[in-house]
Copies of this chain bind each other. A is one copy, B any other.
Amino acid sequence: MQTRYDVIVVGAGHAGCEAAHAAARLGCRTLLLTIDLDKLAHMSCNPSIGGPAKGHLVREIDAMGGLMGRITDRSAIQIRLLNESKGPAVQSLRAQCDKRLYARLMKETLERVPNLDLRQAMVERIAPPNADTQCFTVTTHTGWRYLAPAVILTTGTFLRGRAITGEAVWGAGRAGEAPAMALSEDLAALGFPLVRLKTGTPPRLAAATIDFSLTELQPGSDKPLAFGHYYAELGETIPPPEYHGPPAPVYPHPQLNGWRPQLPCYQVHTTPEFHAIIRQNLHRAPLFSGIIEGVGPRYCPSIEDKIVRFADKERHSLFLEPEGWTTAEVYVQGCNTSLPEDVQWAMLRSIPALRNVELMRIGYAIEYDAVATGEITADMQTRRLRGLFFAGQINGTTGYEEAAAQGLMAGINAAHYVQGKPPVILGRAEAYIGVLIDDLTTKEIREPYRMFTSRAEYRLLLRGDNADLRLTPLAYRLGLVDGDRAAVVEQRRRQAEQALQQMHERCIFPSAAINNALEAQGVKPLNQPATVAEVLARPDVSYRQLRTAIPDLPDLSPSVAEQVEIGCKYRGYIARQEREVARMQKMEHRRIPPDFDYTTLPGLRNEARQVLMRFRPATLGQAGRLAGINPADVAIILFALERRQVHTDTEATYNQ
């Protein structure tokens, strides 16, 4: 029987699933251990995937050959493009999934991955590699031992998990599930500093008790949308949803006849009474009474926190999101809370649409151990024990997409570690995934970390529409996607580049006929000759309009036309960001050896020295981004690196 693996992944949440898939795909004999196989890829909170910045992460995961995007496409009961009217950098896909279907599809997908074994077990101990086997020993609750040179921990909210509603506190990894106690103690014993974080979830409602006539509709897109790339290019179609038949009959206005059957979401608002009920009960809120010790995400506050922090805001939006196609259970987005149960009932019932609502599950907070910042390097590996990787919530992040992105990179890097290949690290100018992991390894994470578009300085380059152009060539080189996909991407890139070139060369002369044709398309007429690129640079002019007016323009596929439009409209901004990236790259490429001695660096401020020794940045670029490091500090390091370089070169010469 197989007890020795190349890579062992602990935990089959969103991080663990991607990690196991990537490692197996890269040829490693991989084992995925998890407490309850029936909860594999369970969405603990929202049934939704994507949204601002998170949607970018999902497209990047897909471009890298990961699973989240395509499984979302097969299970989404609604999909929308957020910020459609804003620039392409902040446009983002968001899907509402059928929660059970998503988890089922993920499990069944993993069951079919070669090289991968799924197994139910609670991991209790991880012993560092012994000299003999060079392997970690992972011990389960039955005392069974597995060996592997690389282990990825993705334990989510389970480490010493504690659930809290009002005055009630009980041990739980999630409501109804047991926490992982022993493993947490074991990590502490191995010397990992642990911090206490918290997150929360709203109540779930019985749809039959909602008065939907008092809600506002939030429909799904009437145009086809998908997280996965290249369906069309590969001769596929967007996968049809794998739910069937009519939706649960309680939901009004299902969109049954569009490109895909969808369910809307339903918006309501908090009321003055709602706010008053919370204010009257603040002394009973675990968040304020001292019961909750862990630090929660400031930007994703509980409803009680919002009421306190934005005291003058008269109302907040809440979104009633069906948890699936056929279930009548409804998630209340925007209302996560750990207030006592009676308060949850009373506040929700103050909303007209929810006058008679019945709660199916109450909201609760969960407090858990995460590993303190500074423990992992940019390849997701711990400094303390090479071969041990952390990914997901355990690193102090929150969100399925953030977890999946880390899982993917941890899976790749664990495989490379085992195979003696160099680490794979995405830069901040390459991907949101790069921004995420760079932040995790250079910033002090004091509260659960979530991705935002504002965290990416080069966000005009890191768009959802070009995730494949940015990442699939790498994924292909790594062996994560096959040649067909890579070829399709290269073709799209070539076509877009050629087309863009053409648009810069092709001139339009403002004849009356042309101007009439333009006007007929709603495009302002020209008063002097202009290149197509110049016309496309105007806001609100699309390539489709131009080509209708001027039929001998080339026939571009929508995805190529999109690239051309963005290339024309944002030319200046994109060029500026590319210059910045080039400048940054120089610093970025300047590596700092892992054993670099900061203690003796003359002129370095004490504070800077401490930060540098804690995070041990891999490059000068990383060093510069550390909180507390200023350009003068960077200059000192650069100087020392150059001196050292001379020194090493000299030594190398001697040794020859």
Q: Spell out A's residues near B (CB within 8 Å).
A: 1-2, 35-39, 42, 100, 104, 107-108, 111-112, 117-122, 141-144, 165-168, 170, 172, 175-178, 206-208, 242, 244-245, 248-250, 326-329, 340-342, 345-346, 349, 358-362
Whether A142 lies near B120 (C-beta < 8 A) is no
What is the CA–CA distance of A114 and B361 in the complex, to the nearest angstrom?
18
The distance in angstroms between the C-alpha atoms of A2 and B177, with both chains bound, is 26
Inter-chain CA distance A341–B3, complex, in Å, is 12
Most-contacted residue by chain B among A121, A142, A208, A360 (CB, 10 A): A142
Q: What's the nearest-Cβ distance from chain B to residue A209, in Å?
A: 8
- Given A119-B360, A328-B108, A361-B120 in contact, is the A165-B142 Cβ separation under 8 Å? yes
| Given A142-B341, A206-B117, A358-B117, A172 contacting B176 (CB threshold 8 A) | no
- Are A144 and B248 in contact, CB atoms less than 8 angstroms apart? no
Copies of this chain, complex-wide, total 2
Give the distance to chain B from A163, nearest Cβ to Cβ, in Å: 9
Q: CB < 8 Å: which of B175, B207, B245, B358 contacts A36?
A: B175
**B360–A37 contact, CB under 8 A?**
yes
Cross-interface CB contact of A166 among B2, B108, B142, cutoff 8 Å:
B142
Contact B38 A42 (CB under 8 A): yes
6 of the cross-chain contacts (CB-CB < 8 Å) are A2-B358, A108-B248, A117-B360, A120-B176, A242-B244, A244-B244
Q: In the complex, what distance in Å separates the CA atom of A121 from the CA atom of B175?
A: 9
Decide if B248 touches A111 in the complex (CB within 8 Å).
Answer: yes
Query: Which of B38, B170, B206, B244 is in CB contact (< 8 Å) with A111?
Result: B206
Could you say which of A119, A170, A176, A342 has the most chain B C-beta atoms within 10 Å of its C-beta?
A176
A558 to B250, CA, bound (A): 39
Report how far A206 CA is from B328 CA in the complex, Å. 33
Chain B residues lying within 8 Å of A326, measured Cβ to Cβ, are 104, 108
Which chain B residues lie closer than 8 Å to A37 at the CB level? Answer: 176, 329, 360-361
Q: Judging by beta carbons under 8 Å apart, are B176 and A38 in contact?
A: yes
Is the CB–CB distance between A177 and B175 below 8 Å? Answer: no
Question: In the complex, are the beta carbons of B358 and A35 less than 8 A apart?
Answer: no
Given the known interface contacts A108-B327, A144-B342, A248-B108, the answer about A118 and B206 at a Cβ–Cβ threshold of 8 Å is: yes
Q: How far is the CA of A108 from the CA of B326 in the complex (A)?
A: 7
Name the one of B100, B142, B172 contacting A178, with C-beta atoms under 8 angstroms.
Answer: B172
Contacts of A329 in B (CB 8 A): 37, 111
Q: CA separation between A345 and B121, bound complex, in Å?
A: 15
The winner among A1, A329, A358, A361 for most chain B CB atoms within 10 A is A1
Partner of A112, one of B120, B175, B328: B328
> Would A176 and B178 count as touching, CB distance under 8 A?
yes
Known A-B contacts A208-B111, A244-B242; A36 and B142 likewise in contact (beta carbons under 8 Å): no
Docked Cα-Cα span, A167 to B207, in Å, equals: 46
State which of B1, B112, B120, B361 has its C-beta within 8 Å of the C-beta of A345: B1
CB distance from A261 to the nearest CB of B (A): 14
Counting from the closest, the 4 A-B pairs by CB-CB distance are A36-B176, A142-B168, A1-B345, A111-B328
- Within 8 Å by CB of A176, from B1, B143, B177, B349, lies B177
CA distance A377 to B316 in the complex (A): 54
Contacting residues, chain B, for A358 (C-beta < 8 A) = 2, 117, 119
Q: Is B327 a contact of A111 with CB atoms below 8 Å?
A: yes
Residues of B within 8 A of A104 (CB): 100, 326-327
* Contact partner, A340, options B39, B142, B207, Cβ 8 Å: B142
Please name all residues of chain B whose beta carbon is closer than 8 Å to the beta carbon of A242 when the two chains form the complex. 244-245
A170 contact set on B, CB distance < 8 A: 122, 141
Report B-chain residues with C-beta under 8 Å of the C-beta of A141.
168, 170
Cβ of A338 to closest chain B Cβ, rounded Å: 10
Q: Which residues of B contact A175 (CB under 8 A)?
A: 36, 120
With a cutoff of 8 Å between Cβ atoms, the chain B residues found around residue A207 in the complex are 111
